[in-house]
A and B are shown apart, each in its own frame.
Chain A
Amino acid sequence: MAAAAEKLSISMPQKLATAARKRAGRRGLSSFVARAVARELEREALGEFLAELDANLGPVPDVQLKRARREWPKR
């Protein structure tokens, strides 16, 4: 069930557009851009959620953040 699509006219730096077209390839620029926008919206929503928790409960102690960064797997 594909959701209805809206046609947009947007501008972006030429270098970026070229790189996006190249990467999107056969999938098409529209679905590539839609996916990128969805990810960015999600990322911003996560940032807002975490900032709200910080504001309501106090920030996560630095020692905890450092530990989590250290433990995050390096690939």
Chain B
Amino acid sequence: MAEALILDSEALNALARPTERSALSLRARAIARVAHERGVLVRVPAPVLAEVCRGARFDAAVNHLLNRDAIRVAELTREIAQRAGALLAKAGMSSANAVDAFVVATALEFSSAVIATADTRDLKRLSAPFRQVSLMSL
């Protein structure tokens, strides 16, 4: 299913609150702009919202962004959750990295995907076996 740009928590934050995170935000905007140029879908894996939604001030910005229907939430399905578990096992990682695993498992739903993230170390371990998944560091 098409190509996707997957936003990790820092990338979502940078786009939702661009004035407060200006350096990261410029980078995130540049990446999103290239996605737009290429006709790539932009997705936020649902579990990422658990890392970003931290009370009214944060939630308002995130809701404002997601309600525009320009960037959609990729729902967490049974298949994605089970695949995430398999990825953790394969990488020898614990549930502490569950959200990272959900992010990579969501990326694998697409024919190819770029993950925009500030956490390349853990995501690299999880996505290493998959050529169709690439990381772009914020």
Contact = CB atoms under 8 A, between A and B. Distances in A.
Chain B binds chain A: yes
B32 A50 contact: yes
Chain B interface category by residue count: 20 to 34
B29 A50 contact: yes
Interface in B8-60: 18-19, 22, 25-27, 29-39, 41-42
Contact of B114 (A46, A65, A72): A72
Interface in B81-134: 112, 114, 132, 134
Nearest to A70: B34
Main secondary structure of the interface of A (DSSP, over half): helix
B26 A73 contact: no
Contact of A45 (B32, B69, B132): B69
Given A45-B70, A48-B70, A57-B18, A73 B134 contact: yes
Contacts of A69: 34, 37
Nearest to A48: B70
A75 B114 CA distance: 11
B136 interface: yes
Interface string A19-55: 0000000000000000000010111011111100100
B70 A42 contact: yes
Nearest to B71: A46
Interface of B: 2, 18-19, 22, 25-27, 29-39, 41-42, 65, 68-72, 112, 114, 132, 134, 136
Main secondary structure of the interface of B (DSSP, over half): mixed
Given A53-B29, A61-B26, A41 B69 contact: yes
Contacts of A57: 18-19, 22, 25
Nearest to B29: A60
A42 B26 contact: no
B39 to A, nearest CB: 6
